[in-house]
Structures are given as C-alpha cells and as structure tokens.
Amino acid sequence: MMALERFSLPFTIDASTDDLMEGVFEITGLLRVEDDGFILEFRRSGFDISGLGHVGKNRPGDLHLSSRPAVESVAFTLDDLRDIQLKWGVLSAKIVLHARSLTVFADVPGAEGDRLVLDLPKASRGQAATLVPLLRIALEERQ
C-alpha cells in the first residue's frame, strides 16, 4: 500500500455502554499500516464481572482488575473502508474510519456499526496529519 509500510499510530477508544457493562473501561492499541492493509492491535482493560466460575481465589461475581489483558487484533484492507477522516478538536484529534460493511469492525470494542473512532495522543497527531491525507488519496483512487 503506497509507501506507508511499517507505519503505526497509538490510539485509545472510548468504551461504549456495552463495554462498560461488561467491565471494560479502557481500550488502547496501535493502528498499523502494512503492505496489504491495516492491523488494529488493542487491549481491553477493566474488571472481570462475568461471574462465570472461580478465578483464582475469587468467588463467582467478585470484581477483580485484569492484570495483563490479552492483545487482540483485527485486520482489514483499504478496500474495506468507505472513508477515513482526521477530526480536530480544541484539545484532541481523532481518526474516524467508516467501513463498507458492518462486519469489518464487529470485533472491535467501541465501534458503532460501520464507524470506528480512534482518539490520538498528542505525540501522534503530526504523524496522523501526514498519514490520513495519503490514505484518503489512495482510497479515492480505488473508488
């Protein structure tokens, strides 16, 4: 995909109401641009409130903080995207991804249907300002 190989941006995702109900309160990760598409790597941090059996010395239904959440990943291609935007706020910047299908972000916490919003830390905003316009051009060339 163009000359963007090996490019990555850290992000956070606001937990949705459903995520919060499941005990997830923080989602952090990396958006990686690879030769053949994108990989979202992320971790969900929070409390295990499932109550589905014993975890260590805890009783069912006990709350305990996840010590080292597993890294999850979701891969998708530029062809899976309908649009990509960089939105600037007074004190924030966000990458907004719009997919062509509801299944693209189905396994990503915080996604709302075909839309995924990645909050960017201050240190990554310059990289995003370079990356997003290049991705938009590549996306327009494919449409």
CB 120 within 8 A of CB 89: no
Give the whole-angstrom CA distance, residue 125 versus residue 93. Answer: 7
- Return phi, psi of residue 80, to 5°: -75, -15
Question: pLDDT averaged over the chain?
Answer: 81
Q: Per-residue pLDDT tens for 71-121?
A: 999 999 999 999 999 999 888 999 999 999 999 999 998 899 999 999 999
Mean pLDDT (whole number) for 5-20 = 78
Give the whole-angstrom CA distance, residue 125 versus residue 116. Answer: 17
pLDDT score at 110: 87
